[in-house]
Structure 1
Amino acid sequence: MTFTPTATIKLVIWDLDDTFWHGTLSEGPIALIDDNMAIVRTLLDRGIVSSIVSKNDPEPVRRVLEEAGIWDCFIFPKVSWNAKGSQIAQIIEQANLRADNVLFIDDNAINIEEARYRFPAMMVAYPQDVLPVLLTLPEARGKSDPEHTRLQQYKQLERKVVEQAESDLSNVEFLRQSQVRLRFDFDVERHFDRIVELINRSNQLNYTKVRLESDAALATFREQLQRHDVFAAAVFASDKYGAHGLIGFYMQRRTERENRLLHYVWSCRMMNAGLEQYVFERLGSPVIDVVQPVSNPIVVFDRVDWITEQVGEEEVAPGSAPRLLLLGSCDLTAVASYCSADRVEFVNGVKHGVMTRYDDFGFILGDPAAIARSRALPALPAWEPRDFAAFQQELGGAEILVLSLSATLKGHHLVTQDGVVVRIHPEGLGHAIDHDPASSWLTGAAFYDLTLAQKLTLLDHAVEWIDQRAVNARHVFLLGANTRDAATPMNEADRDLAQRYNQAALTLCAGRPGWEFVSIDEVVPANRLLDDRHYTRTGYLDIANHLNARMKAGKGAQTRTVRVSDPATHVPLVDLIRQGRRLSRLAIFGNRPKSQLAPIKQAVKLTPLSRMLRKALA
């Protein structure tokens, strides 16, 4: 009978008597078959492992195979007088494989039919049907593994399974003593071939199953890796039983509007260890379209507290990473993905359909009492009083601050009727005002335009305010603005504004212990600019690597000495804003007017008839 494989072969389970060797061991002498031992070794060279299910006494079997020098070539051998179906089930479970990728070879029809009944998807064959052709099958081609890395990984897993079975510990207790470590390598291009193999070959823990089996799919994958809103990492794992190598990969699209996993795939070698859940939660529990079947849901445990992150040669135990606070524009969303998992973000994002901006002097310098009692602010499509309160609280406990404040120099300012200041950025609140300038939440509001000098003064106040309240911060990084041309030349007015901001930021950092200006022009190579404000994924990785290196260089540094100024000398923010030029409501536009008709359109929106019509259509 001809054997026809139905899937890629990852594991071969051998019967012994009259299959792997001639004769029955319990009845008399046996004769090893050299060709079969050669097949086992050749399969190992291809990364395909072998196991044993045999009805025999274990010690004589082990003695024979050890004398032949091949015992250590098998994983999870099952030698007993128990039914073979249950022993096969144990091997598949312990090896964390699917029955589809297992080939069982036995000379006994009863055993063959039992295996076929228990595991309909498993490949089964008589030795005379499969052994002459096994090494020629495309499904047994495997992947070159002359160092037998795959075998060693399974041997580590085998030791772990044996130790856990012999202990009285629960699964969680066992994991807590297993010294599980993860390392994230964001330079995924170095591991490109291995990642593609993992995506294409993994099934059980490939939650997205977006295969890369065509040139077009690979081209799309490479393009995604260059996008400014895509983040990816190869994940390496180890524990006290040994190193498990590259064991996972994720690709995440994270923008102001979306947090989604495009690829999420894991090797089965450390299944049930909570790795998938730990990384998923580390990424902010992104949206993911899980493609069934998968062996386990992503979230299994109440919490995963047994994993240590490793950065280079250093280990970062759970809860010991420095507390990181990020404040400002959306580029921090990209950088944050490569920094500490213990972080709090006040980063621009979409709320209620409108871009909410935290790079806002009102958010930093606002009057807490006015914000707490304001009735107008909660109605605004902007940051909320609870955001402000959280920022005030988190600032005092953060050990590392990363600030991106160049956009504070853009846009106008709104002062609510109860004295709260909110920045109107063209792509944020300004767009909402442009859409509906007669909105009820603008009742009593006033609009102001500040000169660049006035805005730079407010930037000075904001930096001083943060410096005085970040009492536990060892490092404060103030990101600069790019001033170089990308594929499209930069607007000269924008370039001048970026240069003015950089000079001011550099000066502000120079006079403050623990503060450091990060020059984007120096840290991010020009070939990683997508436009004048966005960079490729590796460009953001360059920024993160710079920050991580500076944090590592300053590890153990003493808390900064904070100079506290006299509060009586501070002019309230609302008074500073009101020193600017007051604007009419018609002067506020969400986006730059495309034509001279824009003011007329705005005026029409303010007419009673227009307001009544839009209210009726709402």
Structure 2
Amino acid sequence: MTIVKCLVWDLDNTLWRGTVLEDDEVVLTDEIREVITTLDDRGILQAVASKNDHDLAWERLERLGVAEYFVLARIGWGPKSQSVREIATELNFAPTTIAFIDDQPAERAEVAFHLPEVRCYPAEQAATLLSLPEFSPPVSTVDSRRRRLMYQAGFARDQAREAYSGPDEDFLRSLDLSMTIAPAGEEELSRVEELTLRTSQMNATGVHYSDADLRACFTDPAHEVLVVTMGDRFGPHGAVGIILLEKKPSTWHLKLLATSCRVVSFGAGATILNWLTDQGARAGAHLVADFRRTDRNRMMEIAYRFAGFADSDCPCVSEVAGASAAGVERLHLEPSARPAPTTLTLTAADIAPVTVSAAG
């Protein structure tokens, strides 16, 4: 069963009782309010597709105190299928992950005809959605509970970028970007497992580490499972990277580095590698990084090469425990201290805590 990632609500006689253009007041029941807030806690985004006067309908949502829960709203007089399609496109979600709820059979039929992969529900079912498996993700993480905030921040960030007329680096500085690298906690492990599963372009090995694999490393004192999070003046980016490191006195084995593709343009990968190189230099340890070429991770190879990782016959490469898996290269770097990033403030609360301030 594919989990729903976004529920698109009709308004009149679906989200609320009553019709905006005909009734002085509309009523949002406690049951529906609980559905809205609980779906939000579960990390399921919500949007609106309504045939209505936009300003009037949105004013009602604000007055009822639920407008903030909807990441997108298509309120007008066009076909509902077009509204749902636009919402899916803007969120970059497949139609199979979208659900639509409406009190009118004709509207549900119109959406189902044009978007057969979208799951459609009658309004009478709204109060029972929370009990359905497709609305019940197996785990709840820090990021899932703030997913709406991350998407809303992303939309605001994109609008600011479109309006900005200066150089890209100046725009990045204006964001007040911050990155934190810290040991994974119990709650973060499920999120970083998801990162290894979903990230292909910026995954150094293309390998998926299961929750059990990560927990085994998490409890092994020779390993560090580090989570990379980011934020800026618009809000959180959430967990955007994972570092899996096995430490020996003179060699650090970087078994996995994966970052979300959405933070590539912010220089996240280079910042992580510069920080790791600096930490290795401070510890007097060589770095050995696993890398497997895939059809999609060319960008990660470039990041490693720019950071100075290369093929090497240094004895520390052969000292790394275990033979490399099929297709995995082991790249080597004898690190030296690296300069601070120019567009990121980095806080690293792990092997050797250090704070790097962005250049002015």
* TM-score when normalising by structure 2: 0.63
The letter for the 2-side match of 1:19 is T
**SS of the residue aligned with 1:160?**
helix
Partner of 2:208: 210
Pair 1:194 & 2:188 matched: yes
- In structure 2, which of residues 4, 17, 30 is the aligned counterpart of residue 9 of structure 1? 4
| Pair 1:32–1:137, CA change in 2 (3 A) | same
| Pair 1:173–1:52, CA change in 2 (3 A) | farther
1:49-128 equivalence runs, <5 A: 49-116=45-112, 119-128=115-124
**SS of the residue aligned with 1:134?**
helix
In structure 1, distance between residues paired with 2:26 and 2:232: 40
Instruction: Decide which structure has greater strand share.
Output: 2
| Pair 1:209–1:118, CA change in 2 (3 A) | farther
> 1:55-82 CA deviation, whole Å, 9 max, x = no partner?
2221101221222222222222222233
> 1:203-248 CA deviation, whole Å, 9 max, x = no partner?
65465473635xxxx1x333445385x6642001011212334333
1:549-588 equivalence runs, <5 A: none
The letter for the 2-side match of 1:44 is D
In structure 2, distance between residues paired with 1:254 and 1:93: 43
- In structure 1, which of residues 251, 263, 278 is the aligned counterpart of residue 244 of structure 2? 251
**SS of the residue aligned with 2:33?**
helix
Partner of 1:305: none
In structure 2, distance between residues paired with 1:150 and 1:246: 11
Pair 1:160 & 2:144 matched: no
- In structure 1, which of residues 19, 33, 37 is the aligned counterpart of residue 14 of structure 2? 19
| Pair 1:399–1:80, CA change in 2 (3 A) | same
In structure 2, distance between residues paired with 1:49 and 1:345: 41
Aligned partners of 2:177 and 2:230 also within 8 Å: yes
**SS of the residue aligned with 2:8?**
strand
Partner of 1:532: none
1:285-364 equivalence runs, <5 A: 331-333=285-287, 350-351=312-313, 355=315
1:418-429 equivalence runs, <5 A: none
Partner of 1:463: none
| Pair 1:237–1:118, CA change in 2 (3 A) | farther
| Pair 1:120–1:279, CA change in 2 (3 A) | farther
Aligned partners of 1:199 and 1:265 also within 8 Å: no
Aligned partners of 1:52 and 1:76 also within 8 Å: yes
Aligned partners of 2:253 and 2:288 also within 8 Å: no
| Pair 1:41–1:167, CA change in 2 (3 A) | same
In structure 1, distance between residues paired with 2:113 and 2:101: 15
In structure 2, distance between residues paired with 1:160 and 1:332: 38
> 1:488-532 CA deviation, whole Å, 9 max, x = no partner?
xxxxxxxxxxxxxxxxxxxxxxxxxxxxxxxxxxxxxxxxxxxxx
Pair 1:234 & 2:224 matched: no
Partner of 2:176: 179
> 1:185-220 CA deviation, whole Å, 9 max, x = no partner?
2x22xx23322244248865465473635xxxx1x3
| Pair 1:277–1:87, CA change in 2 (3 A) | farther
Residue 111 of structure 1 deviates from its aligned partner by 4.0
1:522-533 equivalence runs, <5 A: none
Partner of 2:258: 264
In structure 1, distance between residues paired with 2:158 and 2:115: 23
RMSD: 4.9
1:577-616 equivalence runs, <5 A: none
In structure 2, distance between residues paired with 1:121 and 1:154: 23
Residue 134 of structure 1 deviates from its aligned partner by 0.7
**SS of the residue aligned with 2:72?**
coil
In structure 2, distance between residues paired with 1:123 and 1:202: 28
Residue 136 of structure 1 deviates from its aligned partner by 1.2
- In structure 1, which of residues 249, 265, 274 is the aligned counterpart of residue 264 of structure 2? 274
* TM-score when normalising by structure 1: 0.40
Unaligned runs of 5+ in 1: 1-5, 285-308, 312-320, 336-340, 358-390, 401-540, 553-618
In structure 1, distance between residues paired with 2:11 and 2:186: 40
In structure 2, distance between residues paired with 1:176 and 1:153: 19
Bigger relative contact order, structure 1 or 2 (CA pairs below 8 A, ≥6 apart): 2
In structure 2, distance between residues paired with 1:24 and 1:327: 66
In structure 2, distance between residues paired with 1:195 and 1:184: 14
